[in-house]
Each structure stands twice: as structure tokens, then as C-alpha cells.
Amino acid sequence: MRPGDPDAVEQLFNDAAPTYDRLNDLLSLGLHRQWKRQLIRHLDPRPGEVWLDLCCGTGDVALALSRRVRPGGQVVGVDAAEAPLAVARSRAGREPWLPVEFQQGDALDLDFETASVDGVVMAYGLRNLADPAAGLREIKRVLRPGGRAGLIDFNRLPSTSLAARFQRAYLRRVVVPVAEGLGLKDHYAYLEASLQRFPDGASQELLAKEAGFSRACHRAIAGGLMGLLTLRD
């Protein structure tokens, strides 16, 4: 698939939805859950706040956020693919007291008013957008003054660095073979190509500043393999 192709990305996540959570656990040895908790702790969502989880997938981050904004808060998970949303709604149904809902939508054209939410998260979604810069501008648009956002994704590393070589080996020798075992080889083989077009940390900070954020900080986590971008309006 061609990285950044909205239709192809939507189809990928529709196909992967039934095994997506299991695959993430296998590929990261369960560490993706720790990285997402780290993201949420850093953003410090509070009771009564309204948050968006963009490219929410099967809803794990949105559900975690919803536990933090009670009472009086609200979380909305948005994803372009319907199959992951069905999984997310099923998971939310097991905790019906949580203030969370899920809807299909485009992260580049959100159906939310300007300055209407306190915070935004995006886990492993910015890299898949057709235009990451436009995605950052749309996040800025919906945030209230003083709002904050956090995005976690694979980290684009200098191509000749030891970490980059390890990352390529991980994608080729672990990610793709494991995905192949679940019938998703072609879907996950695109990851390396998607990283080649993804802005590095410094470029993400620059794009965020150009989008109007007052503060933008990208830092490497997970030994440099992942990156965490935090933003303030």
C-alpha cells in the first residue's frame, strides 16, 4: 500500500481490527500499553474535561482517558475505519458508566467546533495521515486556549544510526513475519515506507509551531524507537 493513502489506511485497519490488540501486544511485548499510559500521565487529563482520541482504533486510549475525566467529563474517539470502532464500542459496553463515545470521522476534517475541547491524543495516527501538517492544524483548531495535546508514534531516526538499523531489523524480521502469521503481511510491510515520509522529531516541532502551538516538544522514548510529541495551545 502507498503510505498516506486514506482509502488504503482505512482498509488496513478494517482488515486488522479483529487481531489488532493481540498483534500490538505481540509486537511490543505489551510495552505499547506502558507507552500510552506514559502519554496520558504526561497530559494529566482532569475531571470535567472534554478530550478527543483521534485515530482511536480499538479504543484503549479513549477508555483510559474516560476513567480520568470522571465526573463531568467526556471523551470522544474518532477513527476513519468502522471495524476498529465496532471493537471499541464493544469494549466500552463492558464499562457503560464511562463517559466515552466513538464515531467515524476524518482527523483532517473534524466534526467539532473550533476551541471546543480541552485535550487531544493521537496514538500511532499522525504517520498515517495524508498530510501530517494539516492534522496538527486541525488539532490546534479544536483545542481551547490553554489546551494540550500528545501524539505518540514510531520515531524517525537518522538512517545510519545504530538505533535506525535496529528499528529496520525489528520491522523486517519481527513485525512483518508476525503479521504474516495473522494473514496481514502486506498490510504491515508498509510500516518502513511510512517512516521514510514521516517528519522527524525536530520537523514535527517545527510543523506544530507553524500550526500555531505555543509549545511543542518531541522526545524519544523506548530506547529511541518511539517518539512522544507534546503540544500546548
Q: Is 68 within a domain?
A: yes
Total of domains in the chain? 1
Q: Specify the amino acid at residue 140.
A: K
DSSP β-bridge partners for residue 218: 229
Q: Is 1 within a domain?
A: no
pLDDT tens, 87-132? 999 999 999 999 999 999 999 999 999 999 999 999 999 998 999 9
- Per the listing, cell 500521565 goes with 41
Q: Is 222 within a domain?
A: yes
Q: Is 161 within a domain?
A: no
Q: Is 188 within a domain?
A: no
Q: Is 194 within a domain?
A: no
Q: Specify the amino acid at residue 19.
A: T
Does residue 138 sit in helix, strand or coil? helix
> The domain spanning residue 83 has which CATH number?
3.40.50.150
Mean pLDDT of the chain: 88
pLDDT tens, 151-189? 999 888 888 888 788 888 888 888 788 778 777 776 677
> CA 17 to CA 31: how far, in whole Å?
19
- 108 Cβ contact partners less than 8 Å away, ≥ 6 residues apart: 129, 130, 131, 134, 135, 138
For residue 226, the enclosing domain spans 6-155+199-232
> CA 171 to CA 125: how far, in whole Å?
17
Q: Is 174 within a domain?
A: no
CB 67 within 8 Å of CB 59 = no
Give the count of alpha carbons within 13 A of 174, CB side only: 13
Q: Is 189 within a domain?
A: no
Nearest to 147 by CA among 191, 115, 175: 115
